Each structure stands twice: as structure tokens, then as C-alpha cells.
Amino acid sequence: MKKLTILASLCVLLYSCYLTHPCQDSVLIPAFTGFSNPDDFTTIIFRAYKQGDHFSEIKDSLLINNPSNGIPSPGGDTVYIWLNGAFTSKNHYWVMGPDFDWEVYLPALNRTYRISEIVNRRTEGKGRYCLNEITSCSVDGKTINPVYTGDKIGEPTGFVLNLQNE
């Protein structure tokens, strides 16, 4: 029992000695709500723009054909596109990350969503892994507060951004 107590104390001591480090930036997870046709998502184009430049200077893009990472919701009218680990094609920017403004284009519907003013609360943490929180952003000029997901194993980790079919 004494050895177990010493081991547990040593583990606590070592964990508390981790240096504080900057947390990793989060990504936005597009959640398309109100779409009834799965063919609407056969092609999706993500375009990165210089942040705060009113979508005038495109930096890079990513074309996704037949996304295998689309996760339908249990209710059936929302499709989540998990972009965890996806990078743009030329400069390898993290898709839907907070350092750029983004356009999400659905060619089947000729519909474009413009995401800007991403507020990324940069923090520091101890341990091996921590995430910065995306507290708000603007979708087509309207302020949205993304909701965190990823507390369950197998779920995408990031902040869900609800994109409505209008």
C-alpha cells in the first residue's frame, strides 16, 4: 500500500510539473441544417480569405467530392461535415480554422456561406492537450455562437457552426 501511495504521489507531482503551453486552435465544424437531399453535399468547396479583408483576397481553397466524413444527425435534417485534419490544397491551412475568413460553397445549390469575424479565445494550459475556444463568428453578417462538441470518443472535436438552408 505504501508503494501505491508513493506512486500516486509521484504521478501527481509529475503532472503538476508540466509547463504551461499555448493551447491548440480549434476548428469550426459545419452543420448543414434543413437540407433534405443528400446530393446537395456531393461537392463542397472551402475558400480561405485574408481575415478582415471583406472576402477580397483569396488565399487558398479545398474541394471535397463525395465527403465520406459527413455525419447525419439522428433527427435527419442536419449533416455535419467533419474536417478534422483537413488542409487547404496549396498552402495547407487548417480548414475552417480561426486565422482566416471562410466561404463554404455548395455547387449543387449555388449557395455560398460567408464565415468571418471568428473570435478565437487564445489560452494556455497544462498537460498534453488543450483547445482554444471559438466564442463567436459571423455567418453572412449574423453573429453566431458555435457550440463545442467532442467530449465523446469518436465525435468530431471542435465547435459546431449551424448553417441553415434558406
Greater pLDDT, 131 or 154: 131
**How far is Cα 106 from Cα 32, in angstroms, rounded to an integer?**
11
Those residues with Cβ within 8 angstroms of residue 43's Cβ, 6 or more apart along the chain or in another chain: 63, 64, 65, 66, 106, 107, 108
**How far is Cα 80 from Cα 104, in angstroms, rounded to an integer?**
13
pLDDT in tens, 41-63: 889 999 999 999 999 999 999 99
**How far is Cα 157 from Cα 130, in angstroms, rounded to an integer?**
11
| Domain boundaries along the sequence of the chain | 21-164
In one letter, which amino acid is 107?
P
- The C-alpha angle 127, 133, 78, rounded to 5 degrees, equals 120
pLDDT in tens, 77-127: 778 787 767 888 888 888 998 999 999 999 999 999 999 999 988 888 776
Given a contact cutoff of 8 angstroms between Cβ atoms, the answer to whether 70 and 21 are in contact is no
Give pTM, 2 decimals.
Answer: 0.80
> Given this model, what pLDDT does residue 94 score?
85
